[in-house]
Amino acid sequence: MINLLDLTKEELEAKISPSFRAKQIYEWIYKKDVNSFDEMLNLPKDLRLKLRENFYFDPLKKVKSQESRDGSIKYLFALKDGKTIETVLLPMKDKEVDENGEITRHTRYTVCVSSQVGCKMGCSFCLTAKGGFVRNLTAGEIVAQVLYLKKENNIPHHRRVNIVYMGMGEPLNNLENVAKAVKIFTNNDGLAISPRRQTISTSGLSSQIKKLGDLNLGVLLAISLHAVTDELRTRLMPINKAYNIASVMDAVREFPIDMRKRVMFEYLMINGLNDSLKDAKILVKLLHGIKAKVNLIYFNPHEGSEFTRPTEQNMVAFRDFLQSKGVTCTIRESKGLDISAACGQLREKERNDNA
């Protein structure tokens, strides 16, 4: 059977007769949140029967979820083959109400999606690497994560969410399916999520960054940098042996991006390892000529890790130095510290509990 979520509207039109029914099906799934073909009442009964026999659109089953005091929710999903992935819903801005009780701003959400079951990158600070790489997700399995979270949390269709491809896996190692998911998300008959609301994060596969740029999808780019010397970055991220810092920076400089936007650099701060002012000074030089935004991230400790969380003092000093040199820099507020928030943590815990 075919997962309908794997199909762009154009691909669905080629499989359905008459083709205009594809738009109706898309609207039922993405705008009206139906759970079965029987609910698609404007479709003829014979078409609904054919759809039931040949298609499905429920590739995910929730295994468990954990909700943090800050409102973030981490989900563990089982796929059709029994493999598991994680997805996180992050409330970024709270709802605001005026003195009359009228909502002046709705809660704004970001969904962090996985692109692979496991990961090949082997980063020393990431728990996902412990389970090794299993397989790529299909476009539909990526799309289903956002669809499920919107439905589960009663986020209406017209309330847009931001999508970050920062969950399990390296998105650019699954570029074909990730690019297809971007296009499905973007379709106006579906979720209609602008590419400018979608950020693809990579550990720095320079050749794949170029391929992503050539696709001209209009998405934002985030680079997981985490170190300013090749020696340390190779220790943290073995992929640096193949794609060193210089090659990553060269690829970023060629990446097409909306002039109103910036390339985001994720910098995981680890106590005593990469959090000094000396590191900050080197980072400023590396970013010369790049319209960049740096996100400083507190290392989120997990059991068995050799690394520890940096001090607030060092985080602030690092940020202030970058800002003094004209580099846009923020400290990302850690979310979900009271739950299994680190990437791969909930999946690994479930595996250990069932071992």
Any idea what the CATH number is for the domain that residue 43 is in?
Answer: 1.10.150.530
Q: Which of 12, 31, 56 is the last residue of a domain?
A: 56
The count of other CB atoms within 10 Å of the CB of residue 91 is 17
Give catalytic residues, as residue numbers: 86, 343
Instruction: With a cut of 90, say whether residue 127 has pLDDT above it.
Output: no
Helix 277-286 vs helix 312-324: crossing angle, to nearest 10: 40
Mean pLDDT of 119-132: 82
Q: Which of 35, 56, 77 is the last residue of a domain?
A: 56
pLDDT at residue 110, as a whole number:
96
Asked whether residue 65 falls in the same domain as residue 43, the answer is: no
- For 135-169, give one letter per residue: b (16+ CB within 10 A) or e: ebbbbbbbbbbbbbbbeeeebeeeebbbbbbbbbb
Note if the bond before 18 is cis, omega within 30 degrees: yes
pLDDT at residue 157, as a whole number:
84
Decide: 76 and 347 in contact? Cβ < 8 Å. yes
Any idea what the CATH number is for the domain that residue 143 is in?
Answer: 3.20.20.70
Q: What is the pLDDT of residues 17-61, one digit of tens each?
A: 999 999 999 999 999 999 999 999 999 999 999 999 999 999 999
Asked whether residue 138 falls in the same domain as residue 194, the answer is: yes
Asked whether residue 165 falls in the same domain as residue 191, the answer is: yes
Which range among 50-54, 209-213, 283-287, 341-345 shows the weakest confidence by mean pLDDT? 341-345
Instruction: With a cut of 60, say whether residue 62 has pLDDT above it.
Output: yes
Q: What is the pLDDT of residues 139-159, one digit of tens each?
A: 999 999 999 999 999 998 888
Mean pLDDT of 126-132: 75
Decide: 337 and 68 in contact? Cβ < 8 Å. yes
Asked whether residue 113 falls in the same domain as residue 18, the answer is: no
Q: Could you tell me the pLDDT band of residue 302, with boundaries at 50, 70 and 90?
A: confident
Asked whether residue 48 falls in the same domain as residue 71, the answer is: no
Chain-centroid distance of CA 337 in Å reads: 19
Asked whether residue 7 falls in the same domain as residue 135, the answer is: no
Q: Supply the range of the domain harboring residue 22.
A: 2-56
Asked whether residue 193 falls in the same domain as residue 51, the answer is: no
Decide: 252 and 264 in contact? Cβ < 8 Å. no
Asked whether residue 140 falls in the same domain as residue 167, the answer is: yes
Instruction: With a cut of 70, say whether residue 103 has pLDDT above it.
Output: no
Mean pLDDT of 213-236: 96
Asked whether residue 277 falls in the same domain as residue 147, the answer is: yes
Q: What is the pLDDT of residues 337-348, one digit of tens each?
A: 665 555 555 555
Asked whether residue 87 falls in the same domain as residue 117, the answer is: yes
Beta bridge partners of 198: 163
Annotated binding site for [4Fe-4S] cluster: 119, 123, 126
Decide: 235 and 306 in contact? Cβ < 8 Å. no
Annotated binding site for S-adenosyl-L-methionine: 169-170, 201, 224-226, 300
* Higher per-residue pLDDT: 349 or 111: 111
pTM, full prediction: 0.90
Q: Could you tell me the pLDDT band of residue 11, with boundaries at 50, 70 and 90?
A: very high
pLDDT at residue 146, as a whole number:
97
Decide: 228 and 286 in contact? Cβ < 8 Å. yes
pLDDT at residue 347, as a whole number:
52
Asked whether residue 347 falls in the same domain as residue 332, the answer is: yes
Asked whether residue 173 falls in the same domain as residue 34, the answer is: no
Number of compact structural domains in the chain: 2
